[in-house]
Amino acid sequence: MIRVTLRTGPFVTEIGTDIPFLHSELTRLYGSGNIVAPGRFADFHVEVQRAKGLRRHIRPQAVFDFDGFQPLKPLGLRQAVPLLEWGMNWIIGGEAHQYLILHAAVVERNGRALIMPAEPGSGKSTLTAALVYRGWRLLSDELTLIRPRDGLALPLARPINLKNESIDVIHRYAPGVFMSAAAYGTAKGTVALLSAPADSVARDNEPALPRWVVFPQFSAGAPARLEKRSKAGSLLYIGDNSINLHMHGAAGFELVADLVDRCDCLEFVYGDLDEAVRVFDSLAQTA
Amino acid sequence: MSAELLADILGSLSLPAEQQRFDFDWDAVIRTARRAGLLPRLALVLRENGRLDAVPPRPGAHLEAALVLSEKHAADVRREIDNLVAALSGIVDRIVLLKGAAYLAAGLPPSRGRIFGDIDICVPRASLSVVEAMLGVFGWQPGSIHPYDDAYYRRWMHQIPPLVHRTRGSAVDVHHTIVPLTARPKVPADLLLQAARPVDANSKIAVLAPCDMVLHSATHLFNEGEFVWAFRDLHDLDLLLRHFAAEQGFWSELIERAEILDLRRPLFYLLRYTARVFRTPVPEDALRRVEAFGPPAPLRPLMDTLLERALAPNLPLARDRWSPLALALLYGRGHYLRMPVHLLVPHLIRKAVRRPDDG
Cβ count near A95 (within 10 Å):
20
- The yes-or-no verdict on residue A56 having pLDDT over 80 is no
Q: B96 CB contacts (<8 Å, ≥6 apart)?
A: B121, B122, B123, B193, B196, B206, B207, B208
State the sign of the Cα–Cα–Cα–Cα dihedral B85, B86, B88, B91. Answer: positive
Identify which of B287, B278, B271, B158 has the alpha carbon closest to the alpha carbon of residue B214. B271
A-chain residues near B317 (CB < 8 A): 67-68
**B82-93 in b/e burial notation, b at 16+ Cβ within 10 A?**
ebbbebbeeebe
Give the predicted TM-score (pTM) of the model: 0.89
Question: Distance between CA atoms of B299 and B218, rounded to whole angstroms?
Answer: 20
**B47-77 in b/e burial notation, b at 16+ Cβ within 10 A?**
beeeebeebeebbbbbbbbbbbbbbbbbebb
Interface-testing mutation among A7, A11, A41, with chain B (most B C-beta atoms within 10 A)? A41
Q: Is A113 exposed, middle or buried (0-12, 13-18, 19+ CB in 10 A)?
A: buried
pLDDT digits (tens, 9 = 90+) for B213-224: 999 899 889 988
Identify which of A86, A85, A84, A13 has the alpha carbon closest to the alpha carbon of residue A43. A13
**Distance set, CA A257 to CA A97, A239, A263, B41 (Å):** 18, 9, 10, 31
A19-28 contacts, C-beta under 8 A, 24 or more apart: A19/A48, A19/A49, A19/A50, A19/A62, A19/A77, A19/A80, A21/A80, A21/A181, A22/A48, A22/A62, A22/A80, A22/A81, A22/A84, A25/A80, A25/A81, A25/A180, A25/A181, A26/A81, A26/A84, A28/A178, A28/A180, A28/A195
Instruction: Number of helices (H) and strands (E) in chain A: give both, helices first.
Output: 8, 17
pLDDT digits (tens, 9 = 90+) for A127-145: 999 999 999 999 999 999 9
Percent of chain B with pLDDT over 90: 48
A-chain residues near B61 (CB < 8 A): 10, 43, 96, 98
Question: Distance between CA atoms of B240 and B322, rounded to whole angstroms?
Answer: 30
Question: Distance between CA atoms of B9 and B17, rounded to whole angstroms?
Answer: 12
The dihedrals phi and psi of A197, each to the nearest 5 degrees, come to: -60, 140
Of the candidates A43, A45, A247, the beta carbon closest to that of B72 is on A247
Beta-carbon-side half-sphere exposure of residue A106 (alpha carbons within 13 Å): 27
Residue B80 confidence (pLDDT): 94
Question: Distance between CA atoms of A261 and B139, rounded to whole angstroms?
Answer: 37
Q: Are B338 and B180 in contact (CB under 8 A)?
A: yes
Question: Distance between CA atoms of A286 and A266, rounded to whole angstroms?
Answer: 14
Does the distance separating the beta carbons of B35 and A98 come in below 8 Å? no
Q: For chain B, say whether A147 makes contact (Cβ under 8 Å).
A: no
Does the distance separating the beta carbons of A42 and B27 come in below 8 Å? yes
A-chain residues near B58 (CB < 8 A): 12, 41, 43
Q: For chain B, say whether A101 makes contact (Cβ under 8 Å).
A: no
Interface-testing mutation among B31, B63, B167, B231, with chain A (most A C-beta atoms within 10 A)? B31
pLDDT digits (tens, 9 = 90+) for B21-70: 556 688 999 999 999 999 999 999 899 888 888 888 999 999 999 999 99
Q: For chain B, say whether A43 makes contact (Cβ under 8 Å).
A: yes
Q: At what angle do helices B230-244 and B2-12 cross, to 10 degrees?
A: 20
Residue A95 confidence (pLDDT): 96
For the ranges A174-188, B136-150, B197-211, the one whose mean pLDDT is highest: B197-211
Alpha-carbon distance B256 to nearest alpha carbon in chain A (angstroms)? 41
- Report the amino acid identity of residue B358: D
- The yes-or-no verdict on residue B156 having pLDDT over 70 is no
- Report the amino acid identity of residue B327: L
Q: Are A174 and A133 in contact (CB under 8 A)?
A: yes
Residue B349: pLDDT band by 50, 70, 90 thresholds? low
Of the candidates A41, A67, A96, the beta carbon closest to that of B58 is on A41
Q: For chain A, say whether B285 makes contact (Cβ under 8 Å).
A: no
Interface-testing mutation among B25, B58, B115, with chain A (most A C-beta atoms within 10 A)? B58
Of the candidates B27, B314, B315, the beta carbon closest to that of A41 is on B27
Between positions 210 and 269 of A, the ones with CB within 8 A of B are: 246-249
Q: For chain A, say whether B69 makes contact (Cβ under 8 Å).
A: yes
Q: Are B297 and B197 in contact (CB under 8 A)?
A: no
Residue B359: pLDDT band by 50, 70, 90 thresholds? very low
The dihedrals phi and psi of B95, each to the nearest 5 degrees, come to: -115, 120
Residue A287: pLDDT band by 50, 70, 90 thresholds? low
- The yes-or-no verdict on residue B178 having pLDDT over 90 is no
Q: Is A104 exposed, middle or buried (0-12, 13-18, 19+ CB in 10 A)?
A: buried
